[in-house]
Structure 1
Amino acid sequence: MKKSVWLVLVMISALGIGWLVNQNAPSPGRADKAVVEVVVYQADMHSIQDEVEALGTVKANESVVITPKVSDLITKIYFNDGDIVTAGQLLVQLNDAQQQAQLKLAQVQLAENRRELKRIRGLVESRTIAASEQDRLQTLVDSAIAQVEVANSAVNDRQIRAPFSGKLGLREVSEGGLVTPGTLMTTLDDIATIKLDFPVPERFIAQLQPGKKVQASAVAYDDKVYSGEVTTVDSRINPQTRAVTVRAVMPNPDNQLLPGMLMKVKLIKQQREGLLIPESAIVPIQERHQVYVVTADNKAQQRDVTLGLRSRGWVEITDGVQQGEYVITRGLMKVRDGQSVIPKPAESFN
């Protein structure tokens, strides 16, 4: 009898505990229906750039090596390393004492011949002497003019001047030194505007033409972007790389970009408006892509979307989301289709 009573009591206790556990356990789907906080972003239209990336090399707009045309001693140097000079500015003076003397002699001879010609013209008009004498003196005057020009050219050859405005390189000569044709004195680069050469794969050649915009940055100035435009597309494709060289020109007002620099280049093939959302809103499912859109009644709605271009954490949506709708960017792991959510705004688009 006692055993029966104990058995009944044990069964009653087990049933009571089971009922309590069942009351405290969550019902199926309760977690799914819980309201969760999510971060959302409002889909909007933004400028999209279809780009080709490449590495380019900076070249000076104009570049020369300053060398003398004649052999002689340097008497004076008028520049320092890295000077900014203007076109025609005197850089180096060579010894020209002999040439100056020859120039003065030629000028004196020319003046004498001109005085004699003027005197003879009066005599010819009065028929005192024959006209042939005037012709002979005119020839002497013309010859003296040529001699002056030759002497003046010899003087100018010993004045080394900047052929164009630009920035000088290092000074490689000293006063009193003997220079000969081909001796390196310094270099001169016009870098107020620079040329940027970079290769582009041949498959893009149909989209390349002068006027296309480029943006470039250098390792030395990572936070600065330089803008320019394409001026020339090479007439040949490199058979080894299957790429064509494109040349762009861009201003360099601070002379920061130097010849030989390596730059990261973005060639903008096309620029248009597109609907962009953060890439973090995309849920990849095999070959498909989905997003969660927050409806007007704060419900999460799962949708298939079609993607366009991607760029630095952003993705273009060509189908599946409308402008102005809110997509969930954070909290996706806690969200189910049809679940109530508390949306919070995302950071503004940059």
Structure 2
Amino acid sequence: MLDALRRFPEQRRLRAPLVITFLTLLAVFAGIHLWRQARLAPSAAAPSRPPIEVSAQTVRPETLSQSLEATGALEAAQAVTLAPEVAGRVTAIHFEAGARVEAGTPLVELYDAPERAERADAAARVRFARLQYDRSRRLAPSDTVSRQLLDQREAELEQAEAALQRIDANLAQKTIRAPFAGLIGIRRVNLGQYVNAGEAMATLTALDRLYVNFTLPQQELAKLRVGGDATVRADAYPNATFPARINAIEPIVEPDTRNIRVQATLANPDQMLRPGLYVTVSVAQPVRANAILAPATAIQTSASGDSVFVVRNGRAELTRVTIGQRRGDSVVVETGLGADDIVITDGQIRLQPGVPVRVVGPDVASTPQ
């Protein structure tokens, strides 16, 4: 009994820290519970949150002209590199770099004295063969000349004429002429220079009509047709547009890119455009009625998609949207918005769904509060 009494104070000392810890935890949990109850309980004295000031704009249906946009390059409808068919020494140059020439104009002449001498000999043979044939033909009715001799004279005449034509063809190869009217490029040959067959002398380009080649994604195939209208814009002339017309659509889709090659023609009477220029092509599409356009600043892009804040009953409501083409400072909204919706264009960074807002600025005629 005495031993038990002696151990009692020691047991009390051991239990005291446990009791204190338990009471402390109980007090903490009670405080947390009371704090949560105080937050959830409505308080008439607590001040209401003031609305956040934002800029907004009312979206309304518009009639929208549509087009397919692509980047293309210009190509001459007629362009050729001038080069001789045979080798020879340049004896005459009849053009200046940058000059305009007409079709058939002699441009470069090669040394042709041997061919001209051969032609004179061949022409003499033709004249003699023709005299022989004419004499035999006059004597044939009187049987002075046999039919066999007459046929022989006729064959000799034909052979002489063929030889003359062959020499004329060789002479024609010694003169390089313009195959069509156009603009001569930079000269690459000099007087007295020996040139080989196929060696470039200059370029000749017709600039009055050009091709524009461009590609579009395969999903746009149904929107293309031969004869469709297009508009061409070039960085060299930012304030000018050039009308074009689709003349060909490649029948095979490119296997690597799944794009469709398209070619259009455009008139270039003032020769403002040049082959090789990169241009922007707009292929006209049917006008779209009741299109919804929203300011580009209203669109918020995230990993989950595009969205906008819409003002409804004085509060900000986050709405998912599907966007289409960009038109200047606006974006076509395919789904998610309707006519007369009020979209917030500035101040979205401070917003959470459901917070009260107050629209400031002249873009909205009337805003529900």
In structure 2, how many angstroms separate the alpha carbons of the residues matched to 1:307 and 1:200? 20
Determine helix, strand or coil for the equivalent of 2:98. Answer: coil
Q: What's the offset of the Cα at 1:126?
A: 1.5
The 5 A counterparts of 1:166-245 are 166-245=182-261
**Between 143-152 and 235-244, the greater mean CA deviation after superposition:** 235-244
In structure 2, how many angstroms separate the alpha carbons of the residues matched to 1:194 and 1:93? 30
Q: What's the offset of the Cα at 1:53?
A: 1.4
Equivalent of 1:76 in 65, 83, 92:
92
Q: What's the offset of the Cα at 1:238?
A: 2.5
2:347 counterpart of 1:332:
no
Residue by residue, what CA displacement relative to the aligned partner does 1:64-112 show, whole Å, maximum 9, x if unpaired? Answer: 2111011111111111112222221111111111111211211111111
In structure 1, how many angstroms separate the alpha carbons of the residues matched to 2:296 and 2:80? 55
Counterpart for residue 112 of structure 1: 128
- Which amino acid is 1:171 matched to? R
Residues 82 and 281 (structure 1), Cα distance of their counterparts in 2 relative to 1, 3 Å cut:
closer
Equivalent of 1:48 in 60, 65, 84:
65
In structure 1, how many angstroms separate the alpha carbons of the residues matched to 2:280 and 2:324? 24
Q: What's the offset of the Cα at 1:287?
A: 5.7
Give the TM-score, by structure 1 length: 0.70
Is contact 1:237–1:244 with CA below 8 Å preserved after alignment? yes
Counterpart for residue 353 of structure 2: none
In the alignment, structure 1 segments of 5+ residues that lack a partner are: 1-39, 292-305, 322-329, 339-350
Counterpart for residue 287 of structure 2: 272
Q: What's the offset of the Cα at 1:127?
A: 1.4
Q: What's the offset of the Cα at 1:149?
A: 0.3
- Which amino acid is 1:212 matched to? G
Is contact 2:213–2:264 with CA below 8 Å preserved after alignment? yes
Equivalent of 2:161 in 142, 145, 162:
145
- Which amino acid is 1:257 matched to? L
In structure 2, how many angstroms separate the alpha carbons of the residues matched to 1:125 and 1:275? 94
Residues 47 and 112 (structure 1), Cα distance of their counterparts in 2 relative to 1, 3 Å cut:
farther
- Which amino acid is 1:271 matched to? P
In structure 2, how many angstroms separate the alpha carbons of the residues matched to 1:236 and 1:196? 18
Is contact 1:44–1:276 with CA below 8 Å preserved after alignment? yes
Is contact 1:275–1:316 with CA below 8 Å preserved after alignment? no
Counterpart for residue 94 of structure 1: 110
In structure 2, how many angstroms separate the alpha carbons of the residues matched to 1:334 and 1:139? 100
Residue by residue, what CA displacement relative to the aligned partner does 1:313-332 show, whole Å, maximum 9, x if unpaired? Answer: 467799647xxxxxxxx603
Counterpart for residue 164 of structure 1: 180
Q: What's the offset of the Cα at 1:312?
A: 2.6
Give the TM-score, by structure 2 length: 0.66
Determine helix, strand or coil for the equivalent of 1:104. Answer: helix
Q: What's the offset of the Cα at 1:229?
A: 1.4
**Between 255-264 and 68-77, the greater mean CA deviation after superposition:** 255-264
- Which amino acid is 1:235 matched to? P
- Which amino acid is 2:250 matched to? D
In structure 2, how many angstroms separate the alpha carbons of the residues matched to 1:281 and 1:198? 28
Is contact 2:293–2:333 with CA below 8 Å preserved after alignment? no
Determine helix, strand or coil for the equivalent of 2:252. Answer: strand
Determine helix, strand or coil for the equivalent of 1:214. Answer: strand
The 5 A counterparts of 1:17-28 are none
Residue by residue, what CA displacement relative to the aligned partner does 1:184-206 show, whole Å, maximum 9, x if unpaired? Answer: 10111222111111110111122
2:278 counterpart of 1:262:
yes
Is contact 1:120–1:133 with CA below 8 Å preserved after alignment? yes
In structure 1, how many angstroms separate the alpha carbons of the residues matched to 2:279 and 2:296? 33
Residues 333 and 123 (structure 1), Cα distance of their counterparts in 2 relative to 1, 3 Å cut:
closer
Residues 231 and 125 (structure 1), Cα distance of their counterparts in 2 relative to 1, 3 Å cut:
same
Determine helix, strand or coil for the equivalent of 1:116. Answer: helix
In structure 1, how many angstroms separate the alpha carbons of the residues matched to 2:198 and 2:298? 67
Please say which structure displays the higher CA radius of gyration. 2
RMSD: 3.7
| Aligned pairs, number | 284
In structure 1, how many angstroms separate the alpha carbons of the residues matched to 2:364 and 2:230? 40
Residue by residue, what CA displacement relative to the aligned partner does 1:195-235 show, whole Å, maximum 9, x if unpaired? Answer: 11111011112222211221111111111111111111123
- Which amino acid is 1:166 matched to? G
Determine helix, strand or coil for the equivalent of 1:260. Answer: coil
In structure 1, how many angstroms separate the alpha carbons of the residues matched to 2:214 and 2:257? 12
